[in-house]
Amino acid sequence: GNPDLRLEEAVHYVVGAEWDLTEYLNLDLQLFYKDLNDVVTRSDDTVDRNGSTVPEVYNNDGEGRAYGAEILFRHQLANNFFGWVSYTLSRSERIDEEGGDYRPFSYDQTHILSLIASYELPANWTVGARFRYVTGNPRTPILGSTYDADNDVYVRIPGATESARNAPFHQLDIRVDKRFVFDRWLMEIYLDIQNVYNRMNPEGIDYNFDFSESVTLTGLPIIPSLGIRGEF
């Protein structure tokens, strides 16, 4: 590590507006920009510390920025229905050294879309759904490998840092609830299904010993669950 590291600094700018379109519908729009200074980045330099020359490892030479817009369209609970749609378009980028080019932060997600809906049916039934779509995270591609004969290992050859992306994440979840109301307590039975259409969302890439073949690591498959709970 580097005991001389400084705290990272950020300045936020946000402007927004909200409109009531009808009694139950409203629209919210926000624009944002964030300026980042003294961003911690890796360093191959050496420094003199207590009379010894040691690797710097990390320094504060990085800079960054994040900017974008978020829009939220919301239907307040009325006529047994509640729901909203939100969409965020954004970029988060960094420079690791003075004069360098901007590249995405490791968790930059250009598009984020969320849809939520819930409807109350007769006889205390409720059905709800949630859909999410998110741009895949940046990653550094592997172009190939070289063989290190001294250590009998293959060493990967990376491409440009964070110049590729995982495939996007998207998932649909649904839930059905049934409430039973008694004199002194309430019982609820529910069926919850995560990842309804069994999307194999990518979470990373794993390579074989010489980096000539790869497989995509995926998240959880469809997960149905049945539950019961009571309130007294």
Residue 126: strand, helix, or coil: strand
Task: List, in order, residues 6 or more apart from 73 with CB less than 8 Å away.
Answer: 25, 26, 27, 28, 84, 85, 86
In this prediction, residue 45 has a pLDDT band, given cuts at 50, 70 and 90, of confident
**pLDDT above 80 for 88:** yes
Q: What is the pLDDT of residue 53?
A: 86
Q: What is the pLDDT of residue 49?
A: 83
Q: What's the domain count of the chain?
A: 2
Task: Kindly state the average pLDDT of the residues 176-187.
Answer: 94
Task: List, in order, residues 6 or more apart from 171 with CB less than 8 Å away.
Answer: 131, 132, 194, 195, 199, 201
Distances in Å between the Cα of 7 and the Cα atoms of 10, 40, 78, 100 are 10, 9, 48, 21
Q: Per the domain annotation, does 121 fall within a domain?
A: no
Domain that holds residue 162: 139-232
Do 5 and 97 have their domain in common?
yes
Q: Per the domain annotation, does 201 fall within a domain?
A: yes
Q: Taking the model in full, what pTM does it have?
A: 0.87
Q: Per the domain annotation, does 3 fall within a domain?
A: yes
Last residue within a domain, chosen from 60, 82, 105: 105
Q: What is the pLDDT of residue 26?
A: 97
For residues 28 and 5, which has the higher predicted lDDT (pLDDT)?
A: 28
Last residue within a domain, chosen from 90, 105, 120: 105
In this prediction, residue 183 has a pLDDT band, given cuts at 50, 70 and 90, of confident
Do 95 and 143 have their domain in common?
no
